[in-house]
Amino acid sequence: MIILRENALNLLKGNNTKEFEVLVALANLSRAENVGDQVCIHGIIEFSNYCSQNCLYCGIRTGNKKIKRYRMPLEEIKRTAVSASNNLGYKMLVLQSGEDLWYDTDKLAWLIKSIHKECRRCLLFLSIGDRDYNTYKVLYNAGARGVLFRFETSDVALYEKVRPNCSFSERINHLEFMREIGYLTASGPIIGLHGQTMESLVDDIYLMKKLKVTMATMGPFIPASGTPLEDNIGGTVSLALKMIALTRIIYPRARIPVTTALEKIGGNEARIAALNGGGNAFMLNLTPSQYREYYAIYDDKNKMESHLHSLQAVGELTKLIKACGRKVCRGWGTDFTLNKKNFASLCNMEG
């Protein structure tokens, strides 16, 4: 199934309901043909909201003095991850924080090794921001196998405006060396940033494909209190759904999660629409309740009832997935294994 760049741009710009319905149907067909009916449920642990960066859009930016900061102790992070894997059945977990160098290479390596000692099979993704090649190499050797590292936008000028003192080329270089090390990469854009164009959004899709990201992760911009962009208009559900559908058609073998940002502004209706339009993964929040509200990358991020740290949350999502005629996967694939070649072959992203 091929769609020309010009057609993709016209679909993003258009407001024709029938065209949108056809786009969604084609995306759903592409999803079924290329990655099957499985919908994977992953977990995320947000272990620190300290951040050295000052991104204009992010609620945990270092310049935001309105939020309470926290750091989870290493043992508590380990216990949370082990419980999620051994008691709740999660087989893929994301360990996420702001860019917090208090957690140095040695601490993170210890954490990764400690989790693996107590979890039989668990794929660990890291979302810890800009670290050098040697750090990511050490953490890979410790047992981390994926990175969540968004490029935010392919528009270089916009990127360097909303991420002061950061280089777009360095961001892309990080993604390239992470993949070179052997990591599965998850990356993509924020949808709806002020100054973003439809042309750059189409470029975002093709950049995800060029970078061969394993997981094409994208979500609508939601303004956050205490940031320079707090009064900006946020992204929309309809534009996010178009991006998911077009990504599924243009980059058919990608894993495309339904992000918490989309769920936040669209609820269960958006979840279902994203599933039926190309999405094939969810991420549930496993951060302990005493910290959850403070990981406020956007307002009220973690106040959704569906993200309770419990079996109930998984059960509710399982019902939704099955109601859409899909199958639930708790790992990376049907025969989940930590062997990269094996699980990559189950969900080959190269096509």
At 122, which CATH number?
A: 3.20.20.70
Within-domain flag for 72: yes
Query: Could you list the residue range(s) of the whole structural domain that residue 189 is in?
Result: 5-346
Residue 178 domain flag: yes
Q: Distance (Å, rounded) from C-alpha 234 to C-alpha 240?
A: 11
Sequential pLDDT tens for the chain (351 residues)? 778 899 999 999 999 999 999 999 999 999 999 999 999 999 999 999 999 999 999 999 999 999 999 999 999 999 999 999 998 889 999 999 999 999 999 999 999 999 999 997 899 999 999 999 999 999 999 999 999 999 999 999 999 999 999 999 999 999 999 999 999 999 999 999 999 999 999 999 999 999 999 999 999 999 999 999 999 999 999 999 999 999 999 999 999 999 989 988 999 999 999 999 999 999 999 999 999 999 988 776 655 544 444 567 788 889 999 999 999 986 554 433 333 343 333 333 233
> Could you tell me if residue 18 is inside a domain?
yes
In sequence order, the 6+-apart residues with CB closer than 8 A to the CB of 27 are 244, 245, 246, 248, 249, 277, 278
**Residue 351 belongs to a domain:** no
Q: Are 197 and 155 in contact (CB under 8 A)?
A: yes
Q: How many domains does the chain have?
A: 1
Residue 160 lies in a domain: yes
Return d(Cα 248, Cα 24) in angstroms, integer: 10
Inside any domain, residue 88 = yes
- The pLDDT score that the predictor gives to residue 329 is 83
Residue 197 lies in a domain: yes
Q: pTM to 2 decimals? A: 0.91
Amino acid at site 123 = L
Distance between CA 85 and CA 68 in Å, rounded? 29
| Helix axes 198-210 and 5-13, enclosed angle (nearest 10) | 130
- What is the phi/psi pair of residue 55, to 5°? -60, 135
| 176 assigned to some structural domain | yes
| The pLDDT value given to residue 278 | 98
Which residue has tokens 């205490």?
A: 226
